[in-house]
Chains A and B, each alone.
Chain A
Amino acid sequence: MESRSTPNQFLRLGITLVILAVIGGGLIALLNGITGQACLNNLSSCLTNNGWNPGIAGFVPILLGVLGVATFPLLVTILLIWVERKFAARIQDRIGPNRVGPFGLIQPLADVLKLLTKEDITPTGADKPIYNLAPPFMVASVLLIWAVVPFTPYHYGVDLEIGAIYFVAVASIATLAVIMGGWASNNKYALLGAFRTVALLVSYEIPLAMALLVPVLLAGSMSMVGIVEAQGAMWFMFMAPIATLLFFISSQAEVGRAPFDLIEAESELIAGFNIEYSGMKFAMFFAGEFMHVFTNGVLMAILFTGGWWGPFAYEAPLLGFFYLMIKSSFWYFISLWVRNSLPRFRVDQVMNLNWKILVPISILNLIMMALMLRIALGFEQSAGIVVTDFFSALPRTGFLLIGNVVVLVVVWLWLGRQGRQQRQLEEMNRFSVTATGD
Chain B
Amino acid sequence: MVFGSFTPEAFAFGFFTILTLGGAYGVAMNTNLVRGAVWLIVSLFGVAGFLALLSAGFLAAVQVLVYIGAIGILFTFAVMLTRSMTNVNQRFNQQWWISLLVSALLFILLIVGVIIPVWGNQSPADMSPTIANTTDLGVALVTGGGFVLPFEVASLLLTAAIIGAILIAREDEE
Contact = CB atoms under 8 A, between A and B. Distances in A.
Contacts of A194: 80
Contacts of A165: 58, 61-62, 65
Contacts of A243: none
B57 A168 contact: no
Name the 4 nearest CB pairs between A and B, nearest first: A172-B69, A169-B64, A169-B65, A165-B61
SS class, residues of chain B in contact with chain A: helix
Contacts of B49: none
Given A127-B32, A161-B57, A168 B65 contact: yes
Contacts of A182: 80
Contacts of A173: 64, 68-69
Contact of A183 (B34, B62, B65): B34
B58 to A, nearest CB: 5
A198 interface: yes
Contact of A162 (B35, B57, B76): B57
B7 interface: no
A176 B77 contact: no
B133 interface: yes
Contacts of A249: none
Interface in A158-203: 160-162, 165-166, 168-170, 172-173, 175-176, 179-180, 182-184, 191, 194-195, 198, 202
A175 B73 contact: yes
B73 A179 contact: yes
B27 interface: no
Given A130-B35, A179-B76, A222-B134, A169 B41 contact: no
Nearest to A166: B61
A176 B72 contact: yes
B41 A162 contact: no
B73 A130 contact: no
Contacts of B139: none
Given A162-B134, A169-B69, A176 B41 contact: yes
Interface residues of B, number: 21
B21 interface: no
Given A127-B34, A129-B35, A130-B34, 20 more contacts: A127-B35, A161-B57, A161-B133, A162-B58, A165-B65, A168-B61, A169-B61, A169-B64, A169-B68, A170-B64, A172-B69, A172-B70, A173-B69, A176-B68, A176-B72, A176-B73, A176-B76, A183-B80, A184-B34, A195-B80
23 contacts: A127-B32, A127-B35, A129-B35, A130-B35, A130-B38, A160-B57, A161-B133, A162-B134, A165-B61, A165-B62, A168-B61, A169-B61, A169-B69, A172-B64, A172-B69, A173-B64, A173-B68, A173-B69, A176-B68, A176-B69, A194-B80, A195-B80, A198-B73
A365 B76 CA distance: 33
A175 B65 CA distance: 11
Contact of A202 (B32, B64, B70, B134): B70
Interface in A203-230: 205, 222
B28 to A, nearest CB: 18
A126 to B, nearest CB: 12
B88 to A, nearest CB: 15
Contacts of A129: 35
A162 B56 CA distance: 10
Contacts of A162: 57-58, 61, 134
B58 A191 contact: no
A203 to B, nearest CB: 12
Q: Which of A162, A170, A202 has the largest number of chain B CB atoms within 10 A?
A: A162
Nearest to A220: B135
Interface string B75-97: 01100100000000000000000
Contacts of B76: 176, 179-180, 183
Interface in A87-120: none
Interface in A33-84: none
A374 B70 CA distance: 32
A430 B68 CA distance: 48
Q: Which of B32, B62, B68, B73 has the largest number of chain A CB atoms within 10 A?
A: B73
A79 to B, nearest CB: 30
Contacts of B134: 161-162, 222
Interface string B84-124: 00000000000000000000000000000000000000000
A191 B34 CA distance: 13
Given A161-B57, A172-B69, A180 B38 contact: yes
Interface string B122-162: 00000000000110000000000000000000000000000
A172 B58 contact: no
Contacts of B77: 179, 195, 198
Contacts of B70: 172, 202
Contacts of A179: 73, 76-77, 80
A161 B133 CA distance: 8
